[in-house]
Amino acid sequence: MDIKEYKDIYVFCEEKDGAINDASLELLGEARRLVENRPQLGYKVIGVAIGNLDEDLINEIGYHGADKIIWLYNKDINHYSTEIFTTLFVDEVIKKDKPDIVLIPATVMGRDLAPRIAARCDTGLTADATKLEFDPENENSSLLYVTRPAFGGNLFGTIVNETKRPQMTTIRPGVMEKLPKDASRQFEIDKREVSIVNINDPVKLVEVLPRDHMAVDITKADIIISGGRGIGDNFHILEECAKMIGAEVGASRGAVDKGYIAKDHQVGQTGKTVRPKVYIACGISGAVQHLAGMEKSDFIIAINKDPDAPIFSVANIGFVGDALEIVPLITEEIKKYRERPY
């Protein structure tokens, strides 16, 4: 393998519910940051889309940072297929275009697709990355330094792939930041008609079921009020406050592990990464694993009995006290404010 033949950063762009999902757009933004921070490489950001997609969706990839979009089109590809997507990505993109770096969202689809691509290419894959940077010791190197949590999030390791290409990694939704949409951006669309006749897909799609309407996607919330183990089985207090302020309820890993609330609500290294406008941490000490999942929130409010709790180091406002006493008071004051006569 001649590593010098491999070039550019490729991003798999996943379609979900009629749109390119935010996780893919975030990776386009991160790829853009990488290439602009090392212009001497002359690298481009290449988006890869697969299937019978609307051209407006393809344009969204360009509007959010891609210099070029490789669109593997077939009118019969209307849903994700492990075998079809893997085969097409390897045969039609990696073998023909030789990408140096491939970024894939760590979504359900991405976690299924990425390891299969890596295995067929006989290359490595770093999963659930939280930080990407080019070799800091060599400004002309495209070697990617990938940081990810290890040992349950208690440690962080940096992984490099010096001998195989492409360099592959999956990145969790919410970790990176997408660029604002710019409809004036210039980009190239390389639409390739692909055949799937000779791809043996052993899986037959029977039915697509909507997700449980009770499930929570806290990554899209503008306001999150989160509880730790100190809240115990009193999460109803946070839920009442959340209703008053239009928030979603989050939680630390400790609270989830104790069974106080479902894992859908977990914020942190082993949960979800969030960037709300306001994050309210109640009874959360602020372990590094939790901070990694919420420290990029626009405004952070912390409530904790311990004045030395690490959560206060990232908070814009802090209250030293019992969250079980303070949160109901806040809820009551908001209720009074809303019910006041005009």
Tell me: is residue 174 an annotated ligand-binding position. no
Tell me: is residue 300 an annotated ligand-binding position. no
Record the tokens describing residue 289, joined without a space: 């694993």
Tell me: is residue 252 an annotated ligand-binding position. yes
CA 19, 23, 28, 32 dihedral sign is positive
Tell me: is residue 229 an annotated ligand-binding position. yes
Tell me: is residue 167 an annotated ligand-binding position. no
Tell me: is residue 259 an annotated ligand-binding position. no
Task: Report residue 90: phi and psi, to 5°.
Answer: -70, -50
Tell me: is residue 40 an annotated ligand-binding position. no
d(CA 59, CA 55): 6
With CA atoms as reference, report the closest residue to 269 among 91, 131, 118. 131
Do 181 and 63 contact (CB within 8 A), yes or no?
Answer: yes
d(CA 51, CA 193): 10
Tell me: is residue 270 an annotated ligand-binding position. yes
Tell me: is residue 327 an annotated ligand-binding position. no
Task: Please calculate the CA angle 326-294-129 and round it to the nearest 5 degrees.
Answer: 155
Q: Binding site for FAD: residue ranges?
A: 229, 252-253, 266-270, 283-290, 304
Q: Binding site: residue ranges?
A: 229, 252-253, 266-270, 283-290, 304
